[in-house]
Chain A
Amino acid sequence: MTLVGNIFFVLMAAVSLLGAIGTVASRNPIRSAVGLLVTIIGIAGLFLELKAEFMAAIQLIVYAGAVVVLFVFVVMLLGPDASKVPEGPPKGWAARALGGAAMAVFAGIASYLVLDSRPAPVPFPVVHADHGSVELVGRELFTKQLVPFELTTALLIVAVIGAIAVARAHVEKKTKARDERPAPQRFFVGPLHPRDAGHPLPKEHA
């Protein structure tokens, strides 16, 4: 690996880790969304380092282009309520703190085990130049993995319909009850039929 590759790896790793910390630690959800965006860009850079150009492009298009924008839309839609903290002590803070601490301990142990791996790490093998290219991944997707790929479309359609059904505002029915309607007007005002002679019209019409 060249010096440039080393610098790129360290840069992208640092960017993704700092973005992840920003996502978790920010008080403002917009800043969390920006941290998620930074993490996604860093991971896309790591994908490039791993010779996975197609995955890097998909990562940027789908995550940075769609998912983060969706998050930002929802945060903007909720406005200041998105970061409003209710009064009173938070419920279950002890259990949450314990879970977070346990995950931190787990991260430490896992990092130690990965760095102390036996046997010694083996460098990546040399691969063909088009490893991870659009052509190779696309051929795999449309031949061997065709059925799961098509099922993904069904999943996305169902997800979109479900999202619309869940998020749609339930508008109240506009029809009023029967007795709230105004009484029907009498439009005919004029010489009365002999049959109605004994029953004159109300005063407002006469």
Chain B
Amino acid sequence: MFQSLGTVVEHYVLIAGVIFTLGAIGFLVRRNVLVQLMSIELMLNAVNLALVAFNRAYPGNMTGQIFAFFIIAVAAAEAAVGLAIVLAFYRLKGTVMSDEGDQLKL
């Protein structure tokens, strides 16, 4: 069962799964919008790790790494827009707690 560490894709998938789950727990449990955005970044990083690991296991082409590259680009755009929304939300409400954002509630 245990090969030499770091030479099978399962070890990387395990780490990626744990990091993804930590990000998901952080997004669900924390109330601070900044920490929630950081949790989203954690999840994107975990997916990147899994993609690159599978590309190492099936090295016929570079599709996994190309995918990870585009995910990094999209994550950078997401962080910029998300932090701008956080700033606008802070100007509106004076706090960065996500459960204060109830403007759409009837």
Contact = CB atoms under 8 A, between A and B. Distances in A.
A104 B21 contact: yes
B73 A156 contact: yes
A140 B57 contact: no
Interface string A52-95: 10110011001100110011001101100111111000111000
A114 interface: yes
Contact of A78 (B22, B35, B53, B90): B90
A162 B79 contact: no
A40 B7 CA distance: 21
Contacts of B75: 63, 67
Interface residues of A, number: 92
B19 A20 contact: yes
Contacts of A115: 1, 10, 14
Instruction: Give the size range of B's interface with the partner.
Output: 35 or more
Interface string B82-106: 0111111011001111011000000
Interface string B42-75: 1001001100110111010110011011101111
Interface in A113-161: 114-115, 117, 120-125, 127-128, 131-132, 136-137, 140-141, 145, 148, 152, 155-156, 158-160
B90 to A, nearest CB: 6
Interface stretch (A41-49, A175-183, A190-198): A41-49
Nearest to B58: A125
Contacts of A174: none
A97 interface: yes
Nearest first, the 3 A-B pairs at minimum CB distance are: A9-B6, A159-B77, A24-B26
20 contacts: A5-B7, A20-B22, A21-B22, A23-B22, A24-B26, A24-B30, A40-B45, A70-B79, A78-B34, A81-B95, A86-B95, A97-B29, A103-B24, A111-B14, A122-B8, A123-B7, A123-B8, A124-B9, A162-B81, A163-B84
